[in-house]
């Protein structure tokens, strides 16, 4: 990391109970000296900030809003944020509202003549008492906003509207509107609180205990204290707390928290297990291979929380829109209040009242809250299905995908290889050919290399590592090595051609590895792979989602690629590609498919360049690969290509609900602004419309959680 690149730090925010305030805080922090970037995630109560001096950031936050407190990202704070602890004291607010409502009802009864009417003095005292009890924190919020040199947020609008109503002696409307506004805010806060908890419940809590195996027996310890290389024991029914390798025991693993798959996974000694999986049938002794902060479940949670940093264009637009929309409405209200009376001699009281209706209906809360909540719900739902989306901008990108390009090996095919045929030449025996290829591939962890080693071991062979040297991997071509003093090349036809080695061209179904020894062709080994059973289902599901072009890129030979493309009904394929050639192939597809975005799905290691180049890059089954997690926009926790179709479905549902909320808010507000301007709506109807729209939008966003 260079000195100019600042890490993105995460802090939890306390006492931030207003979405518009969150946008205001983010905007002000971005302008603060020493702050490179800042993102406020209101849904999760998080602040992501790039700054050289965090003390200056805290000072800036206190200057913006003294009530807001920044808390270090400790485990306790993280737990509170996941629980979605509300930012207001509900008991206190309900008590004040109850008292205000009681006084308000007395006012209405007094005015109706059911009891002795109050004198104007007593009436005014009751009005002000009820008004202050209902709107005390609204007044305080408006004061803080104005003190910062800002004049337009929902608190200021509500104070202007109700103060204006008091001035024109519309006492009942002033108190009633403030009461119902506060009731709406509390309901809204409660709805967001429950939605936040529902979203967080999609990702079960991280394991908080590990049983460390010591000389004295098993000792319960926090997972963070366990070191790589330590041995832990997981009993039946317990959650695996850290990534590791099974040393002893067999069990069925519930992987649904990480992958969304209900089918249990069998595990035995030698298998790799991940934190967050549940051992359901047996006890496991596990050697820890990753520290807790790098475990699968920790990385999942981190990816979901950091998704807020990458905001969708719609979110950014709504934030900017709200910033300019409110002043415009205030200006329009001022024009409605004073221009008609000045130009036509109409009653000031009538037109001022109409202007106040506009102010009440103009609060942008429905948009400012429901849009980010909708995107985060979509990201949470995707996570429950084992699909980690790194930002709401990628939700939008996925929703716009019309072309999907797959890698072949390990993506559309199983990636489980076996030797199908050995064709020896120039005096080499089949056994020699297998040993030479196994020696050259000895230090490689590629599935094809492993298949050759397994075939050699089945014949009773064993590679002596002391006889092996100068092992080099040539990406997309093959490997070279020295074994017993001999120079060995193992790779595809392009590899042979680069070294000017005459070889036979194979016309077979499978991956062909050619072997040369000291510049002399020794023969070929054919490796077979099988199409995943769900690959055809995934292609059909993508067609149903509106994807009209599905292609495949592979480094394998053209015959094998053509067979797989035909079996799956793909629209196109490109074979015999090196990693850098896959990028050029994707660009050619992009030129022919200008409409919609292109998604690329690969294993995330050799495909890293093309994953990075695509509009949306998806790494499949790649939580174990740092390269995959860093490069991809979306990380799929399983090896199933069906997850691509699920990702599109979730993204499009999320996008659809977000736009429903935008349409709802604009339509309702537009109608009531027009009604208010023409005197067809009162302040009562305006506040019901404003609060009701916000609650409907939040409820609609929470609908995403039902899948």
Active site residues: 407
| Alpha-carbon torsion, ordered 395, 399, 404, 409, to 10 deg | 30
Helix (H, G, I), strand (E, B) or coil at 259: helix
Contact 513, 527 (CB under 8 A): yes
| Residues near 581 by beta carbon (within 8 Å), at least 6 away in sequence | 476
C-alpha to C-alpha distances, 483 to 423, 435, 462, 525, 558, nearest whole angstrom: 21, 10, 13, 18, 31
* Residue 215 to residue 176: CA distance in whole angstroms: 70
Query: Which two three-digit tokens encode residue 108?
Result: 């209405």
546: which 2 tokens?
A: 């509106």
Structure tokens at 421: 């045929």
The neighbouring-strand residues paired with 221 are: 210
Q: What are phi and psi of 108, to 5 degrees?
A: -65, -45
Q: What b/e sequence results for 123-138 when a residue is b if at least 16 CB atoms lie within 10 Å of its CB, and e otherwise?
A: beebbeebbebbbebb
SS3 content of the chain, % helix, strand, coil (to 5): 55, 20, 30
Beta strand 244-248 with 231-234 is unpaired
Contact present, 34 and 59 (Cβ < 8 Å): no
Alpha helices in 423-557 (DSSP H): 430-440, 447-458, 493-498, 533-544
Q: Using an 8 Å Cβ cutoff, are 671 and 361 in contact?
A: no
At CA 190, angle to CA 189 and CA 192, rounded to 5?
65
CB 233 within 8 A of CB 285: yes
Which class for 370: exposed (0-12), middle (13-18), buried (19 or more C-beta within 10 A)?
A: buried
Contact status, residue 548 vs residue 533, Cβ threshold 8 Å: no
- Alpha carbon of residue 156 to chain centroid: 34
- Rounded to whole angstroms, what are the CA distances from 122 to 109, 125, 305? 14, 5, 53
Q: Are 232 and 246 in contact (CB under 8 A)?
A: no
- What are residue 572's phi and psi, to 5 degrees? -165, 160
Q: DSSP letter string over 293-330?
A: GGSHHHHHHHHHHHGGGS--HHHHHHHHHHHHHHHHHH
Give Rg (Cα) of the chain: 32
For residue 247, give every residue at least 6 positions away whose Cβ sits within 8 Å of its Cβ, in sequence order, or none: 231, 269, 285, 286, 287
Both tokens assigned to 462: 């064993």
Q: Which residues 6+ apart lie within 8 Å of 674 measured at CB?
A: none
**CA pair distance 644, 541, nearest whole angstrom:** 9
Residue from 474, 413, 408 nearest 441 by CA: 474
Q: What span, in angstroms and rounded, lies between the C-alpha atoms of 41 and 264?
A: 35
What residues have CB less than 8 Å from 82, skipping those under 6 apart? 200, 205
DSSP state of 548: -
């Amino acid at each position: 990391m260079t000195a100019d690149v600042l890490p993105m730090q995460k802090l939890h925010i306390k006492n931030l109970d207003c979405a518009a305030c969150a946008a205001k805080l983010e905007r002000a922090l971005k302008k603060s000296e020493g702050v490179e970037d800042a993102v406020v995630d209101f849904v999760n109560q998080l602040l992501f900030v790039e700054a050289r001096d965090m003390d200056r950031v805290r000072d800036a936050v206190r200057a913006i809003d003294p009530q807001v407190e920044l808390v270090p990202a400790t485990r306790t704070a993280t737990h509170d944020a996941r629980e979605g602890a509300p930012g207001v004291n509900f008991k206190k607010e309900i008590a004040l509202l109850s008292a205000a409502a009681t006084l308000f009802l007395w006012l209405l009864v007094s005015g109706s003549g059911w009891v002795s009417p109050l004198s104007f003095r007593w009436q005014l005292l009751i009005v002000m008492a009820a008004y202050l009890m209902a709107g005390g924190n609204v007044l305080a919020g408006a004061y803080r906003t104005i003190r910062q040199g800002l004049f337009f947020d929902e608190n200021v609008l509500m104070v202007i509207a109700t103060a204006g109503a008091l001035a024109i002696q519309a006492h009942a409307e002033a108190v009633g509107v403030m009461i119902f506004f506060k009731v709406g805010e509390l309901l809204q806060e409660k709805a967001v609180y429950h939605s936040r908890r529902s979203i967080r419940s999609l990702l079960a809590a991280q394991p908080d205990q590990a049983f460390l195996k010591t000389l004295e027996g098993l000792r319960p310890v926090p997972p963070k204290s366990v070191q790589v290389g330590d041995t832990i024991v997981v009993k039946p029914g317990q959650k695996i707390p850290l990534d590791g390798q099974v040393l002893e025991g067999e069990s069925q693993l519930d992987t649904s928290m990480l992958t969304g798959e209900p089918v249990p996974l069998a595990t035995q000694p030698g298998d790799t297990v991940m934190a967050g999986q549940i051992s359901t049938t047996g006890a496991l002794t596990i050697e820890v291979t990753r520290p807790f902060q790098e475990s699968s479940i920790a990385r999942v949670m981190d990816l979901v929380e950091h998704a807020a940093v990458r905001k969708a264009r719609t979110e950014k637009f709504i934030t900017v829109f709200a910033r300019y929309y409110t002043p415009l409405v205030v200006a329009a209200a001022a024009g409605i209040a004073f221009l008609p009376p000045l130009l036509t001699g109409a009653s000031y009281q009538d037109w001022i009242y109409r202007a106040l209706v506009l102010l009440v209906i103009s609060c942008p809360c429905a948009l400012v809250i429901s849009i980010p909540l909708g995107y985060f719900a979509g990201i949470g739902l995707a996570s429950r299905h084992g699909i980690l989306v790194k930002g709401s901008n990628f939700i939008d990108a996925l929703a716009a995908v019309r072309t999907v390009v797959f890698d072949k090996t390990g993506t559309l095919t199983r990636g489980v290889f076996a030797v199908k045929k050995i064709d020896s030449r120039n005096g080499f025996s089949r056994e020699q050919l297998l040993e030479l290829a196994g020696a050259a591939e000895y230090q490689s962890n590629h599935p094809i290399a492993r298949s050759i080693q397994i075939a050699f071991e089945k014949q009773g062979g064993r590679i002596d590592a002391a006889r092996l040297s100068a092992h080099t991997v040539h990406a997309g071509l093959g490997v070279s090595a020295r074994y017993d003093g001999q120079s060995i090349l193992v790779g595809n036809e392009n590899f042979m051609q680069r070294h000017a080695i005459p070889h036979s061209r194979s016309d077979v179904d499978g991956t062909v590895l050619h072997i040369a020894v000291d510049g002399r062709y020794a023969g070929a080994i054919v490796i077979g792979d099988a199409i995943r059973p769900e690959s055809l289902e995934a292609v059909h599901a993508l067609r149903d989602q509106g994807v009209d072009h599905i292609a495949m890129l592979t480094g394998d030979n053209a015959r094998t690629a053509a067979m797989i493309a035909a079996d799956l009904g793909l629209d196109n394929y490109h074979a015999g590609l090196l990693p850098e050639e896959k990028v050029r192939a994707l660009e050619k597809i992009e030129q022919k498919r200008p409409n919609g975005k292109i998604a690329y799905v690969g294993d995330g290691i050799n495909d890293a360049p093309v994953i990075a180049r695509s509009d949306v890059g998806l790494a499949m089954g790649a939580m174990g690969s740092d390269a995959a997690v860093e490069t991809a926009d979306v990380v799929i926790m399983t090896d199933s290509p069906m997850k691509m179709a699920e990702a599109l479905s979730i993204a499009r549902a999320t996008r659809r609900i977000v736009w429903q909320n935008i349409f709802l808010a604009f339509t309702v507000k537009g109608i009531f602004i027009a009604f208010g301007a023409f005197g067809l709506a009162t302040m009562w109807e305006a506040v019901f419309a404003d609060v009701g729209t916000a609650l409907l939008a939040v409820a609609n966003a929470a609908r995403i959680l039902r899948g």
